[in-house]
Every structure is written in C-alpha cells, then in structure tokens.
C-alpha cells in the first residue's frame, strides 16, 4: 500500500487530524498550510511540513511517515531539518513528528540526537498504540484504518462510515468518506470500485441528494479558487467562465477581489 501518498493526501485535505494526533486543538490547522519541501542542492526532500501562515509564535512542524525499518532515519531527518533551517532562516521555532505503524519498525539510533527526543522537540507516534478506534476522534480513527489488519479492516471501515454519517457536517463528511474509500482501495487492490462501494454501502449513499449537493458545492468551490490562477495566466473573465462552466458575474466578482485598491478606496 502506498502509505506516503495516503498520508500526504490525508493531512493536506484534513490538516486538523495532524494537530489532534499531537494533542493540539484541531482548530490550530487554520493557521497552517501543509507542503512538501525540497532541500536545495542535497537531493533531500522533507515529505510533510506544516508551515505557519500567520504569526512567528506558531512553530513549524516537520512530519516523517516511516513504514519501513530504517536505521538512519534520525540522522537523515535531523540533517534535512538543519539544512532547511539554514537555507530558509525562519523566525519560527520548530518541532518534528515521526509516524510509525508499530514500535517494531522504529530501529533508528537516537544516541547522537537524544536531547531532541528528551525535550520532545522530536516526537514518535506509533499508530497501533493510540487505542481502540471506537474511542478515538474520527480523524485519528481513520488513520488507524491504514494500519488495520485486513481481517478487521472491513468491520472497522463500516464503523467509521457510520460514525462519519452521524457525527459530521456535509462537507467534512464527504472528505472523510472519500479518504476511507481511498484507503480501502489500497488495502483491497483486487476489488473494483463498485465492489468496494457496494460492500460498504457507499454506492447507495452517494446517490442521496445531500451527498450530490455537497459534491457539487465542493466542485464549485474548487473552480472559484482556481480563478486567480487563470487570471494570472492572462485569460479573460469570459474565457474563464466558459472554461469552468461558471456564470460570468461570479468570475467577475472574484477578479475584482484580486485587484489592488484604488487611491480613492477607503
């Protein structure tokens, strides 16, 4: 299973889950953006970085998802972080989180970096030690589905789907259901999309008016957010409206918001 891509998508779409995972308020995610950062001239890449978008008081969070044993994981991680700090010179403090499926995968030697661990600047999280999925917040329970054995993953997925329908509003509900579905595709690669949807009752749910309206609203929001990019490429309001299937007035309103205030504006 391509765990790196699963977690990258999960934290990119629902960054609140990461902050729940480290014991912070999920609302903290509103002042962060999740990116992948390449350390120049080293061929090293930091898979996940939560960069603060507002103040210097919020620390940078480096994330490493490690699902294979690697004796040099910590020497590589500290090297990447130090190079990033040297090249970018951020004013913010920093922390790092290494995410493991189980403690047995963690074979890295912390001898030269133990101060980072004793101070909790670098934290290790073992997904199988987070507790029973039913007692965890929905986002963290969804993460645990990634490492669940196949013989219990089906029952666990059904419980998650039921919880998602009961606990979440429409937009967030759709995102979680899509992530659960993606995880199931990876866990059961021999099953078709139709088989997965039928087994977990997703095909019927996707036909409901609530789901369809939420899907349409999400697609419309994505189109509106793409307008500034097309404006930057020199496309006219009319061309963008036609290409995205939007009303010209909607595109014009977004375009006007991108214009700098004129001298007479208050």
Strand order in the sheet with 32-39: 32-39, 44-52, 60-65, 94-100, 122-126
Give tens-digit pLDDT for 128-154.
999 888 888 888 998 888 888 888 888
Cβ pair 63, 99 in contact under 8 A: yes
262 pLDDT above the threshold of 50: no
- The single-letter DSSP state of residue 262 is P
Domain with CATH 3.40.1350 in the chain: 1-129
What mean pLDDT value characterizes the chain? 82
Residue 266 confidence (pLDDT) = 37
Confidence (pTM): 0.71
pLDDT by residue (tens digit) across 148-184? Answer: 888 888 888 889 988 888 886 666 777 788 888 888 8
The per-residue pLDDT for range 2-21, each reduced to its tens digit, is: 567 788 888 888 899 999 99
Contacts of 192 (CB under 8 A, 6+ apart): none
Query: Which segment of 29-43, 59-73, 105-119 scores lowest on mean pLDDT?
Result: 29-43
Task: Write down the architecture of domain 1-129 according to CATH.
Answer: 3-Layer(aba) Sandwich (3.40)
Q: How many Cα neighbours within 13 Å face the side chain of 26?
A: 10
Q: Quote the pLDDT of residue 21.
A: 93
């Amino acid at each position: 299973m391509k765990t790196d891509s699963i977690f990258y998508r999960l934290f990119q779409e629902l960054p609140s889950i990461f902050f729940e995972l480290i014991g912070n308020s999920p609302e903290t995610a509103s002042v962060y953006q999740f990116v992948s950062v390449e350390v120049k001239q080293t061929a090293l890449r930091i898979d996940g970085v939560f960069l603060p978008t507002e103040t210097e008081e919020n620390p940078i969070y480096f994330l490493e998802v490690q699902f294979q044993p690697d004796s040099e994981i910590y020497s590589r991680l500290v090297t990447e972080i130090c190079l990033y700090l040297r090249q970018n010179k951020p004013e913010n403090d920093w922390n790092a989180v290494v995410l493991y499926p189980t403690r047995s995968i963690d074979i890295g030697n912390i001898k030269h970096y133990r101060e980072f661990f004793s101070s909790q600047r670098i934290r290790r999280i073992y997904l199988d030690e987070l507790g029973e999925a039913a007692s965890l917040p929905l986002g963290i329970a969804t993460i645990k589905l990634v490492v669940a054995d196949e013989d219990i993953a089906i029952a666990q997925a059904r419980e998650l789907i039921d919880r998602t329908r009961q606990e979440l509003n429409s937009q967030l509900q759709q995102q979680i259901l899509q992530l659960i579905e993606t995880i199931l595709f990876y866990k059961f690669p021999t099953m078709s999309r139709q088989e997965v949807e039928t087994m977990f009752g997703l095909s019927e749910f996707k036909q409901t008016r609530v789901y369809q309206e939420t899907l349409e609203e999400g697609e419309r929001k994505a189109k509106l957010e793409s307008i500034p990019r097309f404006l930057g490429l020199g496309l006219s309001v009319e061309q963008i409206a036609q290409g995205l299937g939007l009303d010209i007035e909607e595109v014009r309103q977004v375009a006007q918001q991108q214009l700098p205030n004129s001298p007479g504006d208050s």
